[in-house]
Amino acid sequence: MDIFRILLTQPLTNLLIFIFAILPGHDFGISIIILTAIIRFALWPVFGKQLHSQRKLQKLQPEIAKIKSQAGGDKQKESKMLMELYKEKEVSPFSSCLPLVIQFPFLIALFFVFSQGSADFAKNVSLLYTPVKNLAYIKELIADPALFKPALFGVISMAKPSIALAILAGITQFIQTKMITPKQKGKLDAQTKAVNSMTMLFPLITVVIAWGLPAALPLYWTVTTLIAIFQQWLVMHYEVDQMEKIPLHKKIINRLKRNKNEKKA
């Protein structure tokens, strides 16, 4: 546990408090948003690979449906044919697991950072590095912890549950899940129906869990999901090879030019 604290909890706490100290207005909620964005963009390449794999899998849906039809309910035959397809197309159906594994330690660490940090500033002091402690605003808080106001825009307390942020976290997760759910025409099989059910169930579970947690956590979920939605939009609108070879600014310019030409036509 000490290793977890040294490698994740303590550095993240110091980064959060540092942002909070130097941010004009010292808005704790905005500090959480900035920290969340930093972490999400730092992990951008990892999640990018996951999304590229998901895009490839989406393109394979017609062939996957065909294989299921040919297998005629023989699960062993179906699995063998699917593995051959994945090997031929150089796609791993398990590629989405790695980003989840990488994100999980950060989620646990941020749970402690936001829960503890927003509740009582005095609990943060023992985790702070000397340079952070010596910041003028932090010295004031250490001298008088009552000055600490963990709120977003001075209105929404980050230390107490927020129904609005809990619902917003669920809505953004629904949008994200809907974006990556393969669209199928015709009669849906049992597996597809189950996936569609999860599209509704997971956001609902998020709302239920976030309902009773400090608002700092659903705020984190909402921001990281919004960034994920933006990243998914980029991947879904550009070919995998383009995403890997063409600089981002050129992709956006090319996309705008195509949209302009389509309107003229």
pTM: 0.70
Name the token pair of 127: 């985790």
Residue with tokens 């980050």: 158
Q: Name the β-bridge partners of 151.
A: 157
Domain that holds residue 92: 2-264
Name the token pair of 119: 């509740």
Tens-place pLDDT, residues 194-239:
556 666 777 888 888 888 888 888 898 899 889 888 877 776 666 4
Tens-place pLDDT, residues 121-170:
777 888 888 999 889 989 988 888 888 888 888 888 888 888 999 999 88
pLDDT at 236 (0 to 100): 66
N residues, the chain: 265
Q: Quote the number of domains for the chain.
A: 1
